[in-house]
Amino acid sequence: MLSIPFRSYAEQFKLIQDNSIGIVIDNCQETADLLNRLKNKDFSVRRTLQKYTVSLNHSAFEEAFKTGILEEVEGIFRLNNPSYYDKETGIDIKKIPNDENDIL
């Protein structure tokens, strides 16, 4: 009979803690519409907004929030300046906007 050491596996198992926070990237008309509905207390849109969300670790979130590039909308955080987001690299909180058109 094969013996599997479940106890030692359990003792050695370490769960990777996910300290990330979801940020909605508001860079299309659909997200703008969904966020407007959320502002009007339509909480049914939260699940749909998930597909427009990227994650920031807790320290990056704190820094982004302090710099003012995030806005809270009914418990959801949105990136209020799309120039800080790149499809390839994600949110870059250290980026300097190119011009006034980058700022919402």
- Total of domains in the chain: 1
Residue 89, in any domain of the structure: no
Domain boundaries, position 36: 16-84
Residue 94, in any domain of the structure: no
Residue 91, in any domain of the structure: no
| pTM of full prediction above 0.85 | no
Residue 42, in any domain of the structure: yes
CA atoms of 89 and 8, how far apart (whole Å)? 39
The predicted-structure confidence for 12-32, as pLDDT tens digits, reads as follows: 666 556 678 999 999 899 999
Residue 26, in any domain of the structure: yes
Tell me, what amino acid is at 19? N
Residue 90, in any domain of the structure: no
Percent of the chain with pLDDT over 70: 76
Residue 7, in any domain of the structure: no
Work out whether strand 76-79 and strand 70-73 pair parallel, antiparallel, or are unpaired. Answer: antiparallel
Residue 100, in any domain of the structure: no
